[in-house]
Amino acid sequence: MSITDMKINDKWPAKDPSILQLYSFPTPNGKKASIMLEEIGLPYEAHLVPLGDEYVRSPEFLSLSPNNKIPAIIDPDGPGGQPVALFESGAILIYLAEKTGKLLPEGAGKYEAIKWLMWQMGGLGPMLGQLGFFYKFAGKEIEDPRPRDRFVGEAKRLLNVVNGALEGRDWVAGEYSIADIAIAPWLQALDFYEAKDLVGWDGFANLQPYVDRFAARPAVQSGSNIPARS
């Protein structure tokens, strides 16, 4: 099957179906895929998928991402030259790293990076996402303080973990890797949530220098707004 035969193409047509197609929105999870694509320099086409139900719950998008979440990709040149379709940002990062041999070290370093990637996927991202909901968005109307306190506590605990991992090193797995592309955009999200004071950000000495190092990378700067919000 080619990309043009896929249902997603009916709503988000590929201009050049011979290159990788990205379906995303520039949130912390979406940015992981676009920053990675900018880092590795693979040609790709980006499609904006706004987060409303008419887009993420459309039959066309669900045909590619049944979990109704961005980011997702189709690579027409997957294993064996066959197209590969992926959702879940962590899976996309591993796939692109293995395809290009970039940003995932060999040997023991590989598992160090995957360990921190899994930590972000299962911990930092979901907990900070809930913190944003209960502190800045609709959940802030809830009077019961327990949900917010729960996620503030988890956020502080997780920030302390990554702050410790960064003691004496620039990047969580030693060298710059997909683990940093997964973690740093979530740390940046605390600005958007206006929650830095709430989680005691200034008490974690290694975090702001880490986010600044990340933000200084040209691929992070270009990839952070792809696809551009219309």
Ligand X SMILES: N[C@@H](CCC(=O)N[C@@H](CS)C(=O)NCC(=O)O)C(=O)O
Among 17, 42, 68, 136, binds ligand X (CB under 6 A): 68
**Contacts of residue 162, Cβ cutoff 8 Å, sequence gap at least 6:** 124, 172, 183, 187, 207
Site for ligand X (CB under 6 A): how many residues?
12
Residue 76 or residue 90: which is nearer to ligand X going by CB? 90
Among 27, 130, 163, 206, binds ligand X (CB under 6 A): 27
- 70 contacts ligand X (rule: CB under 6 A): yes
Angle between helices 89-100 and 28-40 (to 10 degrees): 10
Supply the minimum distance, in Å, between the C-beta of residue 203 and ligand X: 27
**Type and span of the H or E element at 213:** helix 207-215
- 47 contacts ligand X (rule: CB under 6 A): no
The answer to whether the beta carbons of residues 36 and 117 sit under 8 Å apart is: no
In 41-88, which residue ranges form alpha helices assigned H by DSSP? 53-56, 59-62
**Type and span of the H or E element at 94:** helix 89-100
Supply the minimum distance, in Å, between the C-beta of residue 72 and ligand X: 8
Supply the minimum distance, in Å, between the C-beta of residue 49 and ligand X: 8
Among 46, 48, 56, 179, binds ligand X (CB under 6 A): 56
Residue 94 or residue 172: which is nearer to ligand X going by CB? 94
- 34 contacts ligand X (rule: CB under 6 A): no
- 29 contacts ligand X (rule: CB under 6 A): yes
**Contacts of residue 35, Cβ cutoff 8 Å, sequence gap at least 6:** 181, 185, 219, 220, 223, 224
Residue 77 or residue 88: which is nearer to ligand X going by CB? 88
Nearest 10 degrees: CA dihedral of 91, 92, 98, 100? 180
- 24 contacts ligand X (rule: CB under 6 A): no
Categorise residue 75: left if φ over 0, alpha if ψ from -120 to 50, beta otherwise. beta
Residue 68 or residue 206: which is nearer to ligand X going by CB? 68
User: Three-state SS for 173?
Assistant: coil
Residue 111 or residue 192: which is nearer to ligand X going by CB? 192
Tell me 85's DSSP state. E
Among the listed ranges 64-72, 75-83, 163-171, 209-217, the one in contact with ligand X (CB under 6 A) is 64-72
User: Residue numbers of the site for ligand X (CB under 6 A)?
Assistant: 27, 29-30, 51, 56, 68-71, 88-90
